[in-house]
């Protein structure tokens, strides 16, 4: 989707065009400056290849909306994201009764992570819940 946007902004710029969209309640304008900024951002925006992290924390899932929230042990910021479709199917196939076996409990969660970078700086991380297991037992 980023490639067509780059082309769209580049076409507007090369032809000296601006864009204004009006509706009953909103007025949106792409000025020359905004188009310049859009070109810069779309050309320097990069997405990392997905990688995996395992994090222990209290997990809350909403399988119907395919969303989760993880509260990591140690007080780090909550992590929110989507539940992998395969994992939602697995929860129901194994008769997890919509995840009540682990929902709200401290578990080890396997997350798929993808970073969005702008000018080589991470500006956003998106997470996908891939699996949930019992946390390791401390000696």
The domain that holds 61 is classified in CATH as: 2.40.50
* CA-based nearest residue to 50, from 108, 124, 115, 118: 115
Residue 37's domain spans which residues? Answer: 2-46
pLDDT in tens, 71-130: 999 888 999 999 998 888 877 666 555 445 788 889 999 999 999 888 788 888 999 999
Q: What is the pTM of this model?
A: 0.66
Check: CB of residue 38 under 8 Å from CB of residue 49.
no
Burial of 87 (0-12, 13-18, 19+ CB in 10 A): buried
Q: Are 33 and 65 in a shared domain?
A: no
Determine the average pLDDT of the residues in 15-44.
89
Q: Are 91 and 127 in a shared domain?
A: yes
Q: Are 128 and 63 in a shared domain?
A: yes
Mean pLDDT of the chain: 85
Q: Are 102 and 85 in a shared domain?
A: yes
């Amino acid at each position: 989707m980023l490639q067509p946007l780059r082309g769209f902004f580049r076409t507007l710029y090369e032809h000296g065009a601006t864009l204004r969209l009006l509706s009953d309640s909103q007025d949106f304008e792409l000025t020359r400056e905004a188009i310049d900024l859009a070109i810069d951002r779309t050309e320097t925006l990069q997405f990392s290849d997905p990688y995996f992290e395992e994090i222990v924390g209290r997990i809350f899932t909403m399988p119907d909306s395919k969303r989760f929230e993880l509260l990591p042990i140690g007080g780090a910021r909550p992590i929110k994201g989507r539940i992998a479709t395969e994992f939602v199917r697995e929860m129901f196939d194994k008769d997890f009764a919509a995840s009540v076996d682990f929902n709200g409990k401290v578990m080890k969660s396997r997350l798929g992570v993808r970073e969005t970078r702008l000018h080589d700086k991470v500006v956003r991380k998106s997470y996908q819940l891939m699996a949930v297991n019992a946390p390791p037992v401390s000696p």
